[in-house]
């Protein structure tokens, strides 16, 4: 046998190392191990050898073949890894490069307010709950102690949904129905806030929008008093607006609370601003949600969330929050 397998192996190693892509490697694989390869030729030549020569030559051919396979496999692994890296690099997005006038986005000022309120109440031990935006008449009104035909229903310019019995399905006019949903599903003690979007058939102006946001609060526990409500709202005022703000409660009326109050804050300049409705949860409401008013009492409050955002940032037109003008939103 005249084939110099050592030299062949050395040359093959050089060729394998020089291959630059997987297609070329496949071709080379065929050349080095296929039907007309040097190792296959050598194996064919074995038959012409003397038996003892044949044994040594056969072993050497196998060693060379194994070594060639290893070289090819190593090179394939390297090329495959390179190809993956190349894909990753080519698909990479550089989000730090803000040329061409692009700016980093950020949360909408209403979302910021929403999240800040959540953080604040979660810090006071409250959980966050949500309910559906399309509600039934019972959760939005009935269970909240608005009897059918009660004039208090007219306080809300309700948008009805054409579904089921006329008047049975609506876009929730406030977040208070979520109070009922929470009480229906959670055993007291309850310390929850319920932020969300609400709807009324109002014409847009500087202080009204047909879609806006509220955040509801509900506490149900043993021996909850009006003092707990006042203390909670005062703690909220200081935490949200700062130590130089204070709050007061003024008598008011809501069907679902008794007594009911308006919650006002006093700004450092001495002026008052109405922020929320609140009160002690009416026994009829506890009962409607399956909670025994003999054993449990509670308070509730409802803030206009957009209003808080306006207040905090000194914005004077509610409509700005919904125009999506980046020059405006970029300021917050
Ligand atoms: N749901 C009332 C509204 O939209 C606000 C409100 C008042 C919520 C008093 C309450 C409350 O939880 O106790 O006008």
Cis ω for the linkage preceding 223 (within 30 of 0): no
pLDDT confidence of residue 259: 98
301 CA distance to ligand 1 middle (Å): 6
Interatomic CA distance for residues 215 and 117, integer angstroms: 8
- The angle formed by the CA atoms of residues 306, 315 and 313, to the nearest 5 degrees, is 80
Its pTM stands at 0.70
d(CA 237, CA 84): 56
What is the CATH topology of the domain spanning 109-329? BirA Bifunctional Protein; domain 2 (3.30.930)
Of the listed ranges 37-41, 174-178, 193-197, the least confidently predicted one is: 37-41
Closest CA to 110 of 118, 99, 121, 102: 118
Tokens 């044994």: give the residue: 55
Using alpha carbons, select from 196, 200, 165, 167 the residue that is nearest to residue 181. Answer: 196
Strand partners, 249: 263
Q: How close is the Cα of 145 to the center of ligand 1, in Å?
A: 12
Q: How many CB atoms lie within 10 A of CB 93?
A: 6
The mean pLDDT value for 139-150 works out to 93
Half-sphere exposure in the Cβ direction for 63 (13 Å, CA): 10
What is the reported pLDDT for 1?
47
> How remote is the C-alpha of 73 from its chain's centroid?
45
> How far does CA 147 lie from the centroid of its chain?
38
The residue ranges of every structural domain in the chain are 2-91, 109-329
Q: Is 176 in the pocket of ligand 1 (CB under 6 A)?
A: yes
Q: Is 300 in the pocket of ligand 1 (CB under 6 A)?
A: yes
Highest mean pLDDT among 34-38, 131-135, 200-204, 327-331 belongs to 131-135
Distance CA 63, CA 127 (A): 70
Q: What is the mean pLDDT of the chain?
A: 93
Give the pLDDT mean for 291-295: 97
Instruction: Give residue 149's pLDDT.
Output: 85
- By DSSP bridging, strand 297-304 and strand 211-221 are antiparallel
pLDDT the model gives residue 49: 87
**pLDDT tens-digit map of 216-262:** 999 999 999 999 999 999 999 999 999 999 999 999 999 999 999 99
Separation CA 105–CA 97 (nearest Å)? 13
Distance (angstroms) between ligand 1 centre and the Cα of 259 equals 12
State which ligand 1 atom lies nearest to the alpha carbon of 173: 4
pLDDT reported for residue 179: 98
Q: What would the pLDDT profile of 37-91 be if each residue is shown by its tens digit?
A: 999 998 888 888 888 888 888 899 999 999 999 999 999 999 999 999 999 999 8
Mean pLDDT of 23-42: 93
pLDDT for 85-131, tens place per residue? Answer: 999 999 888 776 666 666 678 899 999 999 999 999 999 999 999 99
| Distance of CA 252 from the midpoint of ligand 1 (Å) | 11
- The pLDDT confidence band at residue 318, using thresholds 50, 70 and 90, is very high
Q: Is 277 in the pocket of ligand 1 (CB under 6 A)?
A: yes
């Amino acid at each position: 046998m005249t084939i110099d397998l050592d030299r062949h192996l050395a040359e093959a190693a050089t060729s394998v190392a020089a291959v630059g892509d997987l297609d070329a490697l496949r071709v080379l694989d065929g050349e080095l191990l296929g039907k007309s390869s040097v190792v296959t030729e050598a194996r064919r030549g074995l038959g012409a050898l003397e038996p003892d020569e044949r044994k040594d030559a056969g072993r050497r051919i196998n060693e060379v073949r194994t070594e060639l396979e290893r070289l090819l496999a190593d090179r394939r692994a390297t090329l495959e890894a390179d190809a993956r890296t190349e894909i990753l690099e080519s698909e990479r997005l550089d989000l730090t490069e803000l040329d061409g006038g692009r700016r980093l986005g950020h949360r909408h000022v209403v979302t910021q307010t929403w999240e800040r309120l959540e953080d604040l109440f979660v810090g006071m031990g409250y959980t966050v709950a949500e309910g559906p935006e399309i509600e039934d008449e019972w959760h939005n009104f009935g269970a909240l102690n608005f009897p059918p035909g009660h004039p208090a229903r007219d306080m809300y310019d309700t948008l009805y949904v054409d579904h089921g019995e006329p008047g049975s399905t609506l876009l929730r006019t406030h977040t208070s129905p979520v109070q009922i949903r929470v009480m229906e599903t959670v055993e007291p003690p309850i310390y929850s806030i319920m932020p969300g979007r609400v709807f009324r058939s109002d014409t847009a102006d500087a202080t009204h929008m047909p879609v806006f946001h509220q955040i509801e609060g509900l506490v149900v526990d043993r021996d909850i008093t009006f003092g707990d409500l006042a203390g909670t709202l005062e703690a909220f005022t200081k935490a949200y607006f700062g130590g130089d703000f204070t709050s007061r409660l003024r008598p008011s009326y809501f069907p679902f609370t008794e007594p009911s109050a308006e919650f006002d804050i006093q700004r450092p300049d001495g002026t008052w601003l109405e922020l929320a409705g609140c009160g002690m949860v009416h026994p009829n409401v506890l009962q409607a949600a399956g909670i025994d008013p003999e054993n449990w009492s509670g308070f509730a409050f409802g803030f206009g969330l957009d209003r808080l955002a306006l207040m905090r940032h000194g914005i004077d037109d509610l409509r700005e929050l919904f125009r999506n003008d980046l020059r405006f939103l970029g300021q917050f």
